[in-house]
Amino acid sequence: MKMQIKEFAEFSGVSVRTLHYYDEIGLLKPAFVDKTTGYRFYDESSVLRMQEILFYRELDFSLKSIDEILSSPNYDAKKSLEEQRKLLLLKKERLERIISSIDEAMKGKNIMSVFDNSEFEKCKTEAKEKWGKTKAFEEFESKSKNRGKAENDFLGEKMMEIFKKLGEIKNISPGSGEAQNLVETLKNFITANYYTCTDEILSGLGKMYVCDERFKENIDKAGGTGTAEFAAKAIEIYCSL
């Protein structure tokens, strides 16, 4: 399949001007350009790339964020589609709540709570953190590139030991001194061995520990059921102080 820019614009539902701009910023370049005429041509790979861009645009991601996500060396198109589906379902549910609430508003009822978009924004942030080519990811690559499997496994075990200790105290307040000290231990461990763990990054990790089933399962395996939830609450308190 080969399409000139006008044909590709009509096919994808965007303007020629938009395609020129995407080319200019490097978000979506033509498959090739005819050196003689200067005509831009797009192919099947262009269609797939545009599809990914349009999904993220539908989710209100900025063009800069989309470029960072799609350019990330750890980008996985299949897993990304799963994340997009999850986000679109959340968006759909929110719109359905808003539509239903119109009837309630017409009856004079207070429906302000329906505009709470925190769950969608939380998952959107997690998607950006997961796939974006951030400085933290680059630092992680730099620190881990010379490590072998044995060392990585050892560090993973050490991190799980911290979660195990959190699991041992999950029946007390997550704001207790003991819990907060363990959160700081976790933060320092991540900084020393993976990347600089700022409070902002730590807060995002805490959310991911309960939103991502793989993290939740591993953490609960280390400290027992409820450890991931407890760790997330302790981290939330730590980052709010």
CB 66 within 8 A of CB 57: yes
Burial of 19 (C-beta count, 10 Å sphere; 0-12/13-18/19+): buried
Q: What is the pLDDT of residue 58?
A: 80
Fold that domain 134-240 belongs to in CATH: Globin-like (1.10.490)
Q: What is the spatial distance between Cα 144 and Cα 121, in angstroms, rounded to a whole number?
A: 30
Q: What is the pLDDT of residue 62?
A: 80
Q: What is the pLDDT of residue 113?
A: 47
Q: What is the pLDDT of residue 235?
A: 93
Per-10-residue mean pLDDT, the chain, length 241: 90 90 91 90 92 84 82 76 76 73 64 50 58 60 75 88 94 93 93 86 84 83 93 91 72
Q: What is the pLDDT of residue 143?
A: 72
CATH code for residues 3-58: 1.10.1660.10
Q: What is the pLDDT of residue 171?
A: 92
Beta bridge partners of 41: 4, 32
Report yes or no on whether pTM surpasses 0.85. Answer: no
Q: What is the pLDDT of residue 71?
A: 80
